[in-house]
Amino acid sequence: MAEMARLSDALRAHDDAYHRRDDPEISDADYDALKRRLRALEAAHPELIAEDSPTQTVGAAPAEGFEKVRHRVPMLSLGNAFTDEDALDFEARIRRFLSLETDMPVALVAEPKIDGLSLALRYENGRLVEAATRGDGTTGENVTANARTLDTVPERLEGAVPEVLEVRGEVYMTHEDFAAMNAAQADKGAKVFANPRNAAAGSLRQLDSRITAERPLKFFAYSWGEVSSLPAGTQSGVLDFFRALGFMVSPAAKAVSGIREALTHYRGIEAERANLGYDIDGVVYKVDRLDWQRRLGFRSSQPRWAIAHKFPAERAQTVLEAIDIQVGRTGALTPTARLRPVTVGGVVVSNATLHNEDYVAGLGADGQPIRDGRDLRVGDTVTVYRAGDVIPKVIDVDIARRPATAQPWARPTACPICSAPAVREAGEAVRRCTNGLTCPAQAVERLKHFVSRGAMDIEGIGTKQVEAFWALEWVREPADIFTLEARFGPKGRDARRLARLEGWGERSAEKLFAAIDARRQVPLHRFLFGLGIRHVGETTAKLMARSYGSWATLAEAMTAAAMATGDEPSNEPRDHLLAIDGVGAVLADAVIAFFADERAMAAVDRLIAHVSPEDAEAPVATDSPVAGKTVVFTGKLEKMSRDEAKARAESLGAKVSGSVSAKTDLLIAGPGAGSKLKKAEALGIETVDEDGWLALVADL
């Protein structure tokens, strides 16, 4: 879906501005609205998560100038709740996952979500040895010298402390300190910061720690990473331990008996927000029991046991002046509202997404009326929910103010870029250009996807650079990116030079060529995601990479699947793909169709001449009895939910499949097991019941 690709591009750009350049372009509420819209689209169309989803990633790549630090325990982002219903659903998901009785309380810790810069402090034998920023969640920047200058960061921890203790929290600046610092900066003619978060981030990430020492930074502790032993069995207990060690912990952090009490605390914090003295953008709810946190684990880039309940964003009314069509990399034609410029929350908004033609007509993804069935027409007065200064959302229309001349919007029948027929297939919400291989708009969007953060992540090539290189006819397919230096570098064959283009220079050209060279070897899942195969998102790409292990194995299997004919009794390579838990028939057929496309594969072959996809990493839990094995769950599980069982198996290095085949190693069968159990017995596959499974993994 083109809209999902555009949302992803916008979110990546804002991630880079916020996390790496410390220069956010939109407010947190607007950023959250962007990501919320993307999550809603993914929820409605899970098969389309291929649209470069930043919902699966964290932060942004570390900046240059700092030594890189690889986090022993990833620093993950949190999922968001925007309504009471979202928060209630969070508790309901916990109950389902843990198979809790309805009267079993789910104790939580509710604490303000500080708007600052995440920091991890590593102590060994009570001594501070390392401080690192979040970075991209996996790798951050070493800011140890700077962190030592903060009064609220202890150099040594006294008393009984774990041998290894990584304290995590947020570096921030109070409103009072921010105002005083900005006044001093203005007096000196130095840089004045836009907001306290920006000031805190820029101050901590100074290459000269003496500058950091001059800035009024503070640190709130709220979590931990690697730790040799925990001093308590609850989140609230660990926070008390942090207080005892001398760390500042939010005084508004509170242990509550359940989500209802958490919501009451949320409203209390929201009411006192202006009096706190520092910026917050919501309240974080965390499961208090640490044993439950361990059982809940993580999904993709977020923990299941925590969520951030954000404060609401803003709305405004304006006039819909035109409805344009944008074409995405999969050919999706997405209507876009051109608005009479209006200020929403301090930012001027002039366009907004209209999602698809049904949304314009007043219909939701389920075909049911939205906005009471009111359509959108040029000239209408509409309500805009700002989801970023690039792609806000039109959420309502004021029919009473509709002009008499307003006409229903005419749905497109042809691509506005290449004029090829645009068709809408049965069951789809979008209309697509049928000229997939030669439509310029789709080709450019595919290139943008290829270089994007979740895919090849080539620093220095973004939307503007792709469009410029396309216009110059320098880049027409991914392989062309890797020959740019040979053609347009200082020793290039072409007389033109990248360094001579407007906006470029010798240094910037060198950095780009170095960034391209750094991606000649990439993880298999990034390469696979970057190919832009329809329906293949980051999560699916990781599942496929883990299942096949190497590009050669995957390509051989998919080519064999593509060559199989309908006359054959079975298509074993396709069956293997379908056996991956999370892969359905639509996705599998899209992958196979890609490998069956001779022109697509010729382009991949040209790319492979320059890029070497790295084999997927072996399962982490190599000492577990199920590491590397393919397991299938069937029937009813009575002592844990199916989701928890799958998550546990994957955490131990197993591959969870949705179907039984000759490659299945173990079947866990609960009461009511049917065809899968019969097939496993026929194939001689080892089968255990739920008790047998629990005994197998009991001490792991």
> Do 590 and 536 contact (CB within 8 A), yes or no?
yes
> Do 339 and 321 contact (CB within 8 A), yes or no?
yes
**What CA–CA distances, in Å, run from 488 to 169, 452, 477, 485, 493?**
46, 22, 16, 5, 7
User: Which strand (E) or helix (H) includes residue 506?
Assistant: helix 506-517
Rounded CA separation 459/462 (Å): 8
Rounded CA separation 561/575 (Å): 9
> Do 47 and 586 contact (CB within 8 A), yes or no?
yes
Instruction: For residue 363, give the DSSP letter.
Output: B
> Do 110 and 284 contact (CB within 8 A), yes or no?
yes
The set of residues, in sequence order, having a beta carbon less than 8 Å from that of 596 and lying 6+ positions away, is 562, 563
Rounded CA separation 635/632 (Å): 10
Nearest Cα residue to 311 out of 524, 92, 146, 81: 81
> Do 390 and 10 contact (CB within 8 A), yes or no?
yes
> Do 231 and 238 contact (CB within 8 A), yes or no?
yes
Give the other-Cβ count within 10 Å of 50's Cβ: 27
Nearest Cα residue to 307 out of 247, 264, 266, 251: 266
Rounded CA separation 688/538 (Å): 33
Collapsed DSSP state (helix, strand, coil) of residue 229: coil
The set of residues, in sequence order, having a beta carbon less than 8 Å from that of 20 and lying 6+ positions away, is 60, 61, 62, 63
Pull the structure tokens for residue 126: 């009570």
- Number of helices (H), then strands (E), in the chain: 25, 26
> Do 154 and 168 contact (CB within 8 A), yes or no?
no
Judged on CB neighbours under 10 Å (0-12, 13-18, 19+), 327 is buried
Give the other-Cβ count within 10 Å of 320's Cβ: 23
Collapsed DSSP state (helix, strand, coil) of residue 603: helix
Q: Give the torsion sign (CA, 470, 472, 475, 477).
A: positive
Nearest Cα residue to 180 out of 219, 220, 216, 217: 216
679 is catalytic: no
User: Which strand (E) or helix (H) includes residue 273?
Assistant: none
AA letter at 630: T
Rounded CA separation 354/351 (Å): 10
Rounded CA separation 48/45 (Å): 6
The set of residues, in sequence order, having a beta carbon less than 8 Å from that of 673 and lying 6+ positions away, is 634, 635
- Single out the catalytic residue among 35, 68, 113, 448: 113
The CA radius of gyration of the chain, in Å to the nearest whole number, is: 27
Backbone angles phi, psi at 638, to 5 degrees: -105, -20
In order, the DSSP letters of 137-185 are: SSEEEB-HHHHTT-TTS-SB--SS--SEEEEEEEEE--HHHHHHHHHHH
**What CA–CA distances, in Å, run from 515 to 461, 500, 532, 686?**
9, 19, 21, 49
Q: Which residues are catalytic?
A: 113
